Amino acid sequence: MAAGVPWMLGMADTMWSSIAPLRVDFGMIGLVFGACAMAIFVWSYLDYNNIPTLKVDLTEQERTQGHLEQDLKLSKSGKHPKGEGIGESDGQVVCYDPATLDVLGKKRIHTKEEVEDKVRRCAKAQEAWAKTSFKKRRMLLKIIQKYVLEHQMEICNVSAKDSGKPMLDAAFGEILTTCEKIRWLLAEGEAALKPEPRSAGSMMFYKSARVEFHPLGVVAAIVPWNYPFHNILNPVTAAVFAGCGIVVKVSEYATWSSEYYERIIHAALDEVGASRDLVQVVHGFATTGQALVKAKEISKVVFVGSTGIGRKVLEAAAENLTPVVLELGGKDPVIVCDDANLSQLVPIALRATYQSCGQNCTGAERILVQEGIYQKFLDAVVPTVRGMRQGAPLAGLVDCGAMCMPRQAQNVQALVDDAVRKGAKVVVGGSLKTEISKGQGQFYPPTILTGVTREMRIWNEEVFGPVMCVERFATDDDAVNLVNSNPFGLGSAIFSGSKARAKAIASRLKTGASSINDFATTYLCQSLPFGGVKESGFDKFGGVEGLRGMCYTKAVCEDRLPFLVTTVPPELQYPIKPHSFRMVCGIVHFFYGVGLYSNLCGLCRLLKALVLPGGKPKRVPPSKRD
C-alpha cells in the first residue's frame, strides 16, 4: 500500500521517481510471487486431480511372493512336476518365476480363430477411436501415467517376478523409460502428427502441398520378454495416440504379468469411454503370433525380438503385403579411447553390460578399449564384477537377477565355452558351476572375458547375458573396423576426452544410434527414432518416425488461393493441336531451365509455339535426304 500512494501521486513526478518506490518494495514483490506460486500450485493440484484415478488392484497371486499351485516348482529342465513342459501343456502357457522356478500360473493360449476375432473387434473399436481428439488421447495417456506413478512398486514387483530382473532394473527399464515415452507423446505427439507443409515446385507455384498423417488402423505388435511392462506400453501408447487400435502378442516367457498390465490399460480405456477392444493382449506361441501377423485387418506389424524369428515374421507378413518394423538383436560396442575419463565411464560400462543381466537389445556386448588404458580399464571393472550380488530379486537386495528365458544360461555358457576353447580368457565368472547357478533358478554369473577374436562365435553372436567381452584396439580406424565388420548395427557408444575425436568415430560407425561419452542415451530421448541397420533390422519405432509409422502418409495438393481454379489450357485439351508438343517443350524449358538464360530461352520457345502455332516448315538437311 505504502508503495501505491506515491505511485498514485507520481503524475506530477518523473516516470523514474514514480516507479522507484515500487522497485524497492520487496515485501510487495514477495507477496505477488507468493500469490502466483500458490495459484500455480492450486491450479496444478486441481489439474492433477482432474485426471481420473484408476482402481486396478493386484490379484492375490500378484501380491504375494508365493506361487499359484502350492509348492509347485519347475524342474531345472523346464518340466512341470505334473509332467508338463513349458509351453505344450494342453493349450496353456505355464508361467513361472525364473529366479525361483515357482510356478505362477497357467494362461490359456489364444487359438487362430480367437486371434482373428480379437483383431476384427479391434478394427471396429478403432473406427470410433480414429475420430477422437488429441485432447482425449492425451487424457488416456495421462490416466495411465498417473496410475504408473502411484504404483511403481506393484508394476516392478510383478515384472521382477515374471522376468527375474532386479527392482532397480525394473524401475529404470520398465517405469522410467515408459514415463518418458508418455511425457514425450503428451508434449510433442500432436505436433509430430500435424500436417506438414511441403513445397509445390516452380510450375505449380499457385498450389500448396502438404503431407497428412492418418491412423493406419489395427497394428500388431509382437514383443519379447525382457521388459514385460515397457514392451507392451511402448507400442500401445504410440498406437492409441496416433488413433490406431493394437493387438499385442506377448512372449510365452512374460505372459503372466501381461494380464495385470492389460487390466491397467483397459481400466484407462473405460475411463475415457473407449472400447476395451481397442487394445488387446494375446498369449501363446509361434502359431498365435503367426495368426496375428496374417490376420486380414492388420495394417502393420511391429516385431521386437531375434533375427531368426524376425525373418519368419517377414515371411508371414508377405502374404498380405503387411509392412513390418523389425527391431532385432544387437552387438552394441562401447569404444574406449585412451584419452577417455575412466572414472566417468567405468560405472557406465558396468551398468550398460549388467543391467537386467544383459537382457537388453541395446545392452553393451563388446567393450573395445585402446591399448594404452586396456589394463587400467580391466583393473577398474574386475573388483566390482567380482563383488556383484546375484539372487532372486524379491528376496533381498541384489545387483543381478536371473535369465528369463529357459536354457538361456546354457546358451550363454555354450558361447563362453566356445570362446575359451579358442583362446579367450575368463577373468570373472564364466561357469554355471557356481553355487547360485546350481541352485533353484535360471542364473548365469556376471562374467568378464578377454582375448575374444574373430574365430569365436561370441564375436558375432548376440549373448543377451551378463558377459562383458573386453577387446583391444590400436587406432581409431581399427575400432571402426571392429564395429563395422559385425553383422549387427543397433547402437554404439564412444568415450574420449576429445569430443571432436568421439564424434568423428561415431560418424563412421554403421549403427542406428550412437551415444557420445555415455551409453544408450538415445533410447531415453524419446523424440529420437529407435532402430538398427543390417541384421539389427529396419524401420523405426519411437520418436517422430515411430509415431508417424503408425500412420499412412497422404500427399495432398490444392489451389493456394480460393478464387484460383485450375483448368487444362486449350492447347492440351482434346483434340490435341499440332503445336501442343512444342508448347510443352517450351514450358519445360522455361520452368526447368538451368539458370536464367536457359529459362529465357524456354520462354521464347513457349511464346513462339503460341504465336506461330503452325510453325515454320523445317528444312531437312541435305545429308538426311534419301
As annotated, the active-site residues are 327
Among the listed residues 533, 535, 454, the one whose alpha carbon sits nearest the alpha carbon of residue 487: 535
Q: Please state the closest distance from residue 154 (CB atom) to ligand NAG, in A.
A: 5
Tell me if 293 sits within 8 A of 220, measured CB to CB. Answer: yes
Distances (CA, A) of 432 to 78, 410, 468: 16, 8, 16
Tell me if 185 sits within 8 A of 264, measured CB to CB. Answer: no
Cis peptide preceding 578, ω within 30 of 0: no
Q: Please state the closest distance from residue 280 (CB atom) to ligand NAG, in A.
A: 22
Nearest residue (CB) to ligand NAG, 58 versus 584: 58
Q: What angle do CA 340, 343, 348 make, to 5 degrees?
A: 85
Distances (CA, A) of 580 to 601, 607, 613, 620: 18, 12, 8, 22
Nearest residue (CB) to ligand NAG, 396 versus 562: 396
Nearest residue (CB) to ligand NAG, 173 versus 445: 173
190: cell is 500432436
Q: Please state the closest distance from residue 394 (CB atom) to ligand NAG, in A.
A: 4
Q: Please state the closest distance from residue 230 (CB atom) to ligand NAG, in A.
A: 5
Nearest residue (CB) to ligand NAG, 518 versus 545: 518
Q: Please state the closest distance from residue 158 (CB atom) to ligand NAG, in A.
A: 8
DSSP codes joined into one string, 423-449: T-EEEE---TTSHHHHSSS-----EEE
Q: Please state the closest distance from residue 444 (CB atom) to ligand NAG, in A.
A: 18
Nearest residue (CB) to ligand NAG, 246 versus 528: 528
SS3 assignment, position 370: strand
| 325: CB partners within 8 A, 6+ apart | 300, 301, 302, 303, 531, 537, 538, 539, 540, 541, 546, 549
Tell me if 590 sits within 8 A of 606, measured CB to CB. Answer: yes
Nearest residue (CB) to ligand NAG, 166 versus 363: 363
Nearest residue (CB) to ligand NAG, 155 versus 609: 155
Distances (CA, A) of 437 to 11, 76, 383, 462: 86, 10, 20, 21
Q: Please state the closest distance from residue 169 (CB atom) to ligand NAG, in A.
A: 8
Among the listed residues 520, 453, 508, 441, the one whose alpha carbon sits nearest the alpha carbon of residue 475: 508
Nearest residue (CB) to ligand NAG, 18 versus 177: 177
| 220: CB partners within 8 A, 6+ apart | 119, 246, 247, 248, 249, 292, 293, 295, 298, 300, 301, 302
Tell me if 432 sits within 8 A of 444, measured CB to CB. Answer: yes
Q: Please state the closest distance from residue 448 (CB atom) to ligand NAG, in A.
A: 18
Applying CB under 6 A, the residues found at the interface with ligand NAG are 63, 65, 153-154, 157, 173, 177, 227, 230, 341, 343-344, 352, 355, 360, 362-363, 394, 519-520, 523-524
Pinpoint the alpha helices (H) of 387-498. Answer: 408-421, 435-438, 457-460, 476-484
Q: Please state the closest distance from residue 424 (CB atom) to ligand NAG, in A.
A: 24
Q: Please state the closest distance from residue 352 (CB atom) to ligand NAG, in A.
A: 5
Rounded Cα distance between 323 and 307, Å, is 17
Please name the residue that has the C-alpha cell 525373418: 311
Rounded Cα distance between 1 and 387, Å, is 67
Nearest residue (CB) to ligand NAG, 119 versus 352: 352
- Burial of residue 538 (CB within 10 Å: 0-12, 13-18, 19+) is middle
| 65: CB partners within 8 A, 6+ apart | 394
Nearest residue (CB) to ligand NAG, 66 versus 569: 66
Rounded Cα distance between 92 and 438, Å, is 28
Tell me if 573 sits within 8 A of 552, measured CB to CB. Answer: no
